[in-house]
Structure 1
C-alpha cells in the first residue's frame, strides 16, 4: 500500500493525468502548511516548546558569553566563594517553598491553583524568616565564619527569597502557557545579572559582585513574572484560610516526599563545590565552579530535547503501552553527541579554558578532562530522566537519588582524605560513571515496561 506523497501523486495523476503536477504541488504545500499550523500554531505544544526552549537557551547563553570577561575580573578564589554561595542558594531555594509550587499545575480550577500558590508563599515567608533569624543570631553571637562572610550570607538569604518567588510565579505563568513572557523574564534576568557582575567586578573584584548580580537577576525575574501572573489571574479572588489549608492538606505529599527527594538530588549535585571549599580551598573551588558554569551552558542543549521527550514518550505510552521507540530514537543522538563532547574535553580541555578564560584558568580545563566521562553520561541521562515520572516509578527514583547522595558523599570524603583535588575528582568521576550508567539502563528498561502504575 502506498502512503504519503507517492499515494497522493498516483491518486491525482490517475484522476487527471494532464493536470497532475499542477494539482499535486498545491495540495502537498497545503498539507505541509496544515501540519505546520497544527504543530506550531497558536497554543500548540510545538510552539510552546519552541518558545520555551529558545528562552532558556538565550538566558543560558548570556552567562556563558560573559565568562571570558568575568574570568579576567574575578580571581579563582573569588569564583570559589561565589560557587559556595550559588550552591547554598540552590539548596535553600529547593527547600523554601515546600515544593508546593510544583502542584500549581495540577488542579483544573484557577481558584485551587491560587490557593496552592498562597500556601507556597506562606511556606517561603516562614522559611526565609527562619533563615534571617538564624543569620542575625549567629552574627551577634559572634560566629567567626558568619561574621567573616556576613555580606555574602545576607545576600544569600535575599537571593533565596527572590528565587523562591520566581519558582512559584514561574509555575503559575506556565499554567497559563504564557511562554513568551516567561522567556522574556528569563532573558531580562540574565542580562541584568551579567551587567551588574561585570560592572561590580570592574570596581571591586570581590565575590559579592557576582552574588549581587545573581540576586538582582532573581529580583528582576520575580518582578516581571509578578506582573504577568497578576494579569493572568486578575479575575480570581484571594482565597481564605480554609481554602489554603484545604490545598495544603490535599497536596501534603509534595513536602513529605518530593521535597526530600529533590533536596537530596540537589545536594548531591552541589556536594563537590561544598567539599572542595572545605578541604581544598577557595581557588580549587573556583576552578571547579568555572568548569561547571561553562559546562552548564553546553548541557542546556538538552533542555528542549527533554521537554519534547516527555511529551512524545507520554503519548507513545498511552497509545502502545510503552515508550521504548521514543527512548531509542532519543538515546542514539545523545550518545553520539556525548562522545564528541567527551573527546573534546579530554583532548582539548586545558587549552580551551586557557584560551577562553585566561592562562590562570587552565586548571579548570584539567578538572574538565577528569570529569568528562561523568558529566557526559549526565548529559545523556538528563532528558531521559522523565522516564521515572512518565512510568510513575517515583519510589525507584528516590532510591537512586539517595544512593547518589550517599555515594558522592563517601567518594568525596575518602578522596579528600587520601588524594589531591584532582585525585578526588577522579574518584568522583568513576563513581558518577557507574551510577549514571545504571540510571540510563534503568530508564531504558522502564521504557519497555507495559503501562501500569507501580
Structure 2
C-alpha cells in the first residue's frame, strides 16, 4: 500500500517538474492565485472597517454594469482564442476582439450621455457622480486585459501571468486602504484601485514576451481575413454570446433588483458576503479553469475518450476540497463575520448561510463549465443559463414581493444551487458518466458534512452563548 502511495507521489512530482505539463501549469496557477487571495483575505478586515456597506453596494453596481457589457462589447470572440489552431487565425481573432471592443466603448460614451442620469437615479447610485462616466474606459481596459491574459494562457506562459496578477493585486489593495483612510471610505477608493490594477496588469502583459508578435499582428491586418475569421467562429457571437450574457445577467440580477428594492446598503452586504464566499472559488477558478480548459480542448482534439475521466476526476477533487469549509461557513457565518469584520457586517454573515452551498456547487462547476464550448455544444450553454436566469428571477421576485431581504436571498441561494446542480449533471450526462450514482454520492457527502457541522454549533451554543 505504501509503495503504491509513493509511486503516485513520485509520478505527481515528475509531472510537476515537466515543463508545459498540466500538473506544472496547475501548480503555478494555484500557488499564485492562493497567495493573491491570501493577501486579500488578510487585508479584508482592514478594508471592511474603512468602507461602509453602502460604498460596497455602489461599487457592486458599477462592477455589475461592467460585467454585463463585457461580452456584448467583444461579441464573445475572445472565447475562441484558445480554440484557433493556426497562429494566423489566432492573431486575426486578437485584432477582431480589440477592434470590436474599441467600437463598443465609443458607442457606450454616447449611451451614457443620453441615459447616465436616469441610470444613477434608477439604481440609487447618485453617490457615484461622474465616476459613472468612466465606464467606457474601464470596459476597454477590462477587455484588453482579458485578451492579453488569454494570449498568455494559449502560449502556456502561466508563470508570467501569475506574477503580474500577484503584484497588481497587492498594489491595488494598498491603494484601496490608503485612499479610503484619506477620503473617509468614499467609493472612489474602490473604483480607482480596480482601474489602476487593470491598467498596470494590461500594460505589463503587453510589455512581456508577447510584444515580439505585435509586429506580425500589425502586418497581417486584413479586412478580408477578419471577415473570414469572424464567419468561421460565428458560433461565439451567435450561440456563446447569448448564453454567456444570460449567465452574467443572472449573476448580477440581485444587484440590479436589490438596489431599487432595498437600497445600496443591502447590495453592499450581499456583495460583500458573496465576494468572500467566492474567494476560494475564484482562487481555484483562476488556477484551474484556464489550465483545465486548455487541457480539455487539447484532449478532445487528440484523445476524446479521455475527456470524461479527467472531468469527473477534477469534479470529485473539488468536492472533497470544498465540502467541509463551505459547511463551516454556512453554519458559522454570522459568528465569523461579527468577529472578523465588525458588528455592522454581521447581516452579511447571515447571508453566507443562505448562499454557502450554492458557492460550493459553483466551485464544482469549474470542472464542467467549459465542456459545452470544448465539445462544440454551445447551444446547451445558452439553455443552461436561461434556466439559471429563470430560476433566479422567480426566486428574487417572490422575495422582493414580500419586502423581505432575508427571504429574498434565501430563495436566491436555494434556487441557484438547484439550477447549477442540474446543469452540472447534464454536462456529466453528455460525457456518458453515471449521473445518478454521482449525484447520490455527492448529496450524501454534503448532507453528512452539514449535519456534523450543525451539531457542533448546537453543542458549542449549549455551553457558550457567543455561538447562539
Tell whether the 8 Å contact from 2:83 to 2:297 is kept in structure 1 after alignment.
no
For residues 106-147 of structure 1, the C-alpha deviation after alignment (integer angstroms, 9 at most, x for no partner) is 334433322221111110111111111222234589985687
- Consecutive unaligned residues of structure 2, counting only runs of 5 or more, are 435-468
Q: Who is 1:290 aligned against? A: 272
- Which of residues 47, 51, 59 is equivalent to 1:74? 51
The SS at the match of 2:20 is coil
Determine helix, strand or coil for the equivalent of 1:257: helix
Identify the range of structure 1 (113-122 vs 38-47) with the bigger mean alpha-carbon deviation: 38-47
Deviation at 1:159, TM superposition (A): 1.5
Call closer, same or farther: CA 1:432–1:326 in 2, change over 3 Å: same
1:271–1:409 contact (8 Å) kept in structure 2: yes
1:186 to 165, 174, 181: 165
Is residue 262 of structure 2 the alignment partner of residue 280 of structure 1? yes
Matches of 1:104 and 1:445 in 2, distance apart? 27
Q: 2:403, 2:326 → 1: CA distance? A: 24
| Partner in structure 1 of residue 337 of structure 2 | 353
Q: What are the residue-to-residue correspondences of 1:13-32 with 2, within 5 Å?
A: none
Structure 1 gaps, min length 5 = 7-27
Corresponding residue SS for 1:233: helix
Q: Residue 281 of structure 2 corresponds to which residue in structure 1?
A: 299
The residue that corresponds to 2:305 in the other structure is 321
Mean Cα deviation higher: 79-88 or 360-369: 79-88
Native 8 Å contact 1:59 1:187 kept in 2: yes
Aligned residues: CA RMSD: 3.2
Cα pair distance change 1:418/1:241, threshold 3 Å: same
Equivalent residue number for residue 154 of structure 1: 133
Cα distance in 2 between the residues matched to 1:442 and 1:142: 38
Tell me by how many angstroms 1:420 deviates.
Answer: 0.8
Corresponding residue for 2:441? none
Change (3 A) 1:396 1:230: closer
Contact 1:172 1:229 in 2 (8 A): no
3-state DSSP of counterpart to 1:236? helix
Who is 1:214 aligned against? 194
Relative to structure 2, which stretch is displaced further, 150-159 or 291-300?
150-159
1:33-92 deviations in Å (ceiling 9; x for gaps): 898555532333332232223233333333333211110111111111111111111122
Deviations 1:378-399 (A, max 9, x none): 2222323334344443322221
Measured in 2, the distance between the counterparts of 1:96 and 1:62 equals 32
Q: Does 1:136 align with 2:113?
A: yes
The Cα shift of 1:421 comes to: 0.6
Of 207, 226, 235, the residue aligned with 1:227 is 207
Name 1:380's counterpart in structure 2. 364
Classify the secondary structure of the residue corresponding to 1:66: helix
1:171-221 deviations in Å (ceiling 9; x for gaps):
222222222221122122212221221111111111121011111111111
- Mapping of 1:103-122 within 5 angstroms? 103-122=80-99
How many residues end up aligned between the 2 structures?
Answer: 426
What is the TM-score with the length of structure 2 in the denominator?
Answer: 0.81
Task: Choose the corresponding residue for 2:179, options 182, 189, 200.
Answer: 200
Matched residue, 2:457: none
Relative to the length of structure 1, the TM-score reads 0.84
Structure 1 contact 272–412 (Cα < 8 Å) conserved: yes
> Which region of structure 1 is more displaced relative to structure 2, 279-288 or 226-235?
226-235
- Cα displacement (A) at 1:428: 1.2
- Give the superposition deviation at 1:153: 0.9
Residue number in structure 2 paired with 1:440 = 424
Q: Deviation at 1:308?
A: 6.2
CA distance in 2, matches of 1:337, 1:391: 27
